[in-house]
């Protein structure tokens, strides 16, 4: 009788399961990295497009530094993600090379065994010798066992032949995978070289500009402080208006002073709206159709002088000339803020949450209007001197600001 090969089958099955899990894990990671790489590539294209549109405009050196810094950061991220992809493909290539070696060894053994079986089968294929093998049995039980052995032996031959076919097909498929992986890696490396050249050019221009700026650093430092003071003035006015809106809302509902100081007193409808707003965290649409973030949320060192900081209660988004501003969620226009030397600001309330859209040239809504997700509420202002079209966008719960990148899809 043929020996029981269940333990061998279990080992093969476990190996198959491990390889499947490993392959799935690698594939999922590759897809994640490729998606991120495509996002970064799109952002690089957006930066290049907006730069080419505004290349005739004379930008300030402070603005140029921020532009260079942002593009350098994006290019750096692109290179890192591409390197991660290449490293992952390397692991896949090494794994497939080991798999090919193992399959070739298995095939060699299988073919040798199969050849030996075929020789043995050829020698005993004479029908008479098979009959004699059965008739020479001592009793019926032994003859039956010999008959079963002959059947098992024939089945094993067929199984061995099928295994060789399957392993050969697997080897061929693995070889094709390997060739594809090597080609993908080659393309990634070539693209990375091109991006690296672009990065080196950007860094060189950035360094030259920084050298010129450092000669008059005190002048630029004064400009930076002045801009921050202006931003603080706007934020203070927004804070005051929000507190007034909270007080008005709570007075209308008859809420206590303690409640009015912490947030809005919500009606049942406003509670539902706020809950819906929260349930869409991370999925809100961008407030413009096209654009990229040039300044993130929070306190951060200034790209020119690390001893100076930028305090940003929201994000700044560079977009195209004539860009329409879109409400990111259903809500009510709580205020249209107009200040001296400041472009209009639209404030929309979503229950106890507020979104603010700053630096508008035109406003298409009025206080008290109900708005819907992606409704056009205005147009972004374009600076005629430097061609910049920047929307400042922020989110807060009452007066407490939050990071828009946590709320807006893929910001």
Based on the fold, state whether residues 206 and 284 are members of the same structural domain.
Answer: no
**Would residue 206 be called left, alpha or beta, if left means φ above 0 and alpha means ψ between -120 and 50 degrees?**
alpha
- Would residue 65 count as lying in a domain? yes
**Between 195 and 23, the higher pLDDT residue:** 195
Q: What are phi and psi of 371, to 5 degrees?
A: -120, 160
How far is the C-alpha of 35 from the C-alpha of 348, rounded, in Å?
33
Same domain, 205 and 345: no
Distance of CA 245 to the CA centre of its chain: 37
C-alpha distances (whole Å) from 244 to each of 192, 231, 274, 310 are 53, 20, 19, 27
Q: Predicted confidence band at 350 (pLDDT cuts at 50, 70, 90)?
A: very high
Q: Let me know if 129 is exposed, middle or buried by CB neighbors in 10 A (0-12, 13-18, 19+).
A: exposed
- Total domains in the chain come to 2
- Confidence category of residue 8, pLDDT binned at 50, 70, 90: very low
Q: For residue 226, what pLDDT is reported?
A: 85
Distance CA(168)–CA(405), nearest Å, equals: 51
> In the predicted model, is pLDDT for residue 343 greater than 80?
yes
Are residues 263 and 204 part of one domain?
no
- With helix as H, strand as E and coil as C, how does the chain read? CCCCCHHHHHHHHHHHHHHHHHHHHHHHHHHHHHHHHHHHHHHHHHHHHHHHHCCCCCCCHHHHHHHHHHHHHHHHHHHHHHHHHHHHHHHHHHHHHHHHHHHHHHHHHHHHHHHHHHHHHHHCCCHHHHHHHHHCCCCHHHHHHHHHHHHHHHHHHHHHHHHHHHHHHHHHHHHHHHHHHHHHHHHHHHHHHHHHHHHHHHHHHHHHHHHHHHCCHHHHHHHHHHHHHHHHHHHHHHHHHHHHHHHHHHHHHCCCHHHHHHCCCCCHHHHHHHHHHHHCCCCECCCCCCCEEEECCEEEECCCCCCCEEEECCEEEECCCCCEEECCCCEEEEEEEEECCEEEEEEEEECCEEEEEECEEEECCCCCCEECCCCEEEEECECCCCCCEEEEEEEEECCEEECHHHCECCC
Q: Does any domain span residue 268?
A: yes
The reported pLDDT for the residue numbered 117 is 62
More confident residue, 176 or 319: 319
Q: Which pLDDT score, from 0 to 100, does residue 235 have? A: 92
Q: What is the rounded distance in angstroms from the CA atom of residue 186 to the CA atom of residue 216?
A: 46
pLDDT in the model for residue 155: 64
Residue 2: the pLDDT is: 42
Of 108-122, 174-188, 315-329, least confident by mean pLDDT is: 108-122
Most confident of 136-150, 173-187, 328-342: 328-342
Task: Evaluate if residue 398 carries a pLDDT over 60.
Answer: yes
Mean pLDDT, residues 376-400 taken together: 92
Task: Calculate mean pLDDT across residues 223-247.
Answer: 89
Of 180, 214, 248, the last residue of a domain is 214
Judge if 370 and 316 occupy the same domain. yes
Structural domain range at position 361: 257-406
What is the residue-averaged pLDDT of the chain?
Answer: 82
Say whether both 208 and 275 belong to one domain.
Answer: no
**At 58, is the pLDDT very low, low, confident or very high (cuts 50, 70, 90)?**
low
pLDDT tens, position by position, 115-160: 676 666 555 555 445 555 556 767 777 766 766 766 676 666 667 6
What region does 20 belong to: left with phi over 0, alpha with psi -120 to 50, or beta?
Answer: alpha
The pLDDT of residue 56 = 56
pLDDT for residue 22? 52
pLDDT at 323: 96
At 9, the pLDDT band (50, 70, 90 cuts) reads: very low
Asked if the structure places residue 19 within a domain, the reply is: yes
- Tell me how far CA of residue 405 lies from CA of 282, 296, 335, 360, 402, in angstroms: 8, 8, 24, 21, 9
The pLDDT value given to residue 325: 98
For the record, the structure tokens of 210 come out as: 């920084």
The reported pLDDT for the residue numbered 59 is 65
Question: How far is the C-alpha of 23 from the C-alpha of 334, rounded, in Å?
Answer: 53
Residues 10, 91: Cα–Cα separation, whole Å: 26
Cβ pair 263, 243 in contact under 8 A: no
**Residue 249 forms part of a structural domain:** no
- Of 204 and 102, which is predicted with more confidence? 204
Tell me what the mean pLDDT of segment 157-169 comes to. 73
The pLDDT of residue 51 is above 80: no
Whether residues 31 and 87 fall in one domain: yes
Of all residues in the chain, the percent with pLDDT exceeding 90 is 33
1 pLDDT band, cuts 50/70/90, is: very low
244 domain residue, yes or no: no
Q: Are residue 29 and residue 177 in the same domain, yes or no?
A: yes
Residue 63, pLDDT > 80, answer no
Indicate whether 206 and 348 sit together in one domain: no
166/64 same-domain check:
yes
CATH number at residue 315: 2.70.70.10
CA atoms within 13 A on the CB side of 324: 10
Domain boundary residue, one of 182, 214, 246:
214
In a domain, 333, yes or no: yes
Share of the chain above pLDDT 70, in %: 79
Q: At what angle do helices 140-214 and 61-123 cross, to 10 degrees?
A: 160
**What pLDDT, on a 0 to 100 scale, did the predictor assign at position 260?**
44
User: In this predicted structure, what is the pLDDT of residue 134?
Assistant: 55
Q: How confident is the model at residue 238 (pLDDT cuts 50, 70, 90)?
A: very high
> Domain with 39 in it: what CATH number?
1.10.287
What is the distance between the alpha carbons of residues 67 and 54, in angstroms, rounded to a whole number? 12
Q: Is 153 exposed, middle or buried (0-12, 13-18, 19+ CB in 10 A)?
A: middle
């Amino acid at each position: 009788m043929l020996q029981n090969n269940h333990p061998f089958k279990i080992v093969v099955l476990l190996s198959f399961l491990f390889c499947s899990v490993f392959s799935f894990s690698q594939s999922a990671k590759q897809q994640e990295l490729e998606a991120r790489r495509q996002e970064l590539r799109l952002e690089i294209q957006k930066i290049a497009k907006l730069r080419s549109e505004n290349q005739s405009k004379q930008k300030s050196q402070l603005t140029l530094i921020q532009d260079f810094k942002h593009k350098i950061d994006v290019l750096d991220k692109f290179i890192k993600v591409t390197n991660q992809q290449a490293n992952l493909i390397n692991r896949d290539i090494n794994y497939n090379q080991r798999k090919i070696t193992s399959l070739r060894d298995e095939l060699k053994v299988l073919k040798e065994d199969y050849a030996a079986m075929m020789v043995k089968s050829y020698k005993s294929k004479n029908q008479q010798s098979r009959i004699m093998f059965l008739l020479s049995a001592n009793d019926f039980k032994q003859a039956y066992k010999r008959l079963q052995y002959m059947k098992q032996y024939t089945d094993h031959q067929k199984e061995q032949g099928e295994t060789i076919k399957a392993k050969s097909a697997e080897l061929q498929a693995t070889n094709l995978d390997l060739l594809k992986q090597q080609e993908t890696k080659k393309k990634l490396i070539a693209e990375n070289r091109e991006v690296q050249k672009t990065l080196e050019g950007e860094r060189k221009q950035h360094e030259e500009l920084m050298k010129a700026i450092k000669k008059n650093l005190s002048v630029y430092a004064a400009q930076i402080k002045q801009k921050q003071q202006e931003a603080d003035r706007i934020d203070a006015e927004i804070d005051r208006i929000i507190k007034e809106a909270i007080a008005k809302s709570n007075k209308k509902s008859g809420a206590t002073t303690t409640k009015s100081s912490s947030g809005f007193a919500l009606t049942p409808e406003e509670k539902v709206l706020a809950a819906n707003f929260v349930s869409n965290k991370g999925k809100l649409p961008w407030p413009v159709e096209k654009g990229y973030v040039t300044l993130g949320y929070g306190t951060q060192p200034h790209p020119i002088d690390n001893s100076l900081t930028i305090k940003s209660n929201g994000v700044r988004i560079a977009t195209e000339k004539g860009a329409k501003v879109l409400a990111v969620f259903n809500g009510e226009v709580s205020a249209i803020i107009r200040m001296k030397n400041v472009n209009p600001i639209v404030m929309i309330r979503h229950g106890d949450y507020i979104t603010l859209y700053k630096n508008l040239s035109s406003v298409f809504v009025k206080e008290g209007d109900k708005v819907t997700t992606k409704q056009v509420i205005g147009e972004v202002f374009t600076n005629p001197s430097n061609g910049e079209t920047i929307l400042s966008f922020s989110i807060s719960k009452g007066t407490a600001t939050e990071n828009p990148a946590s709320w807006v899809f893929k910001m």
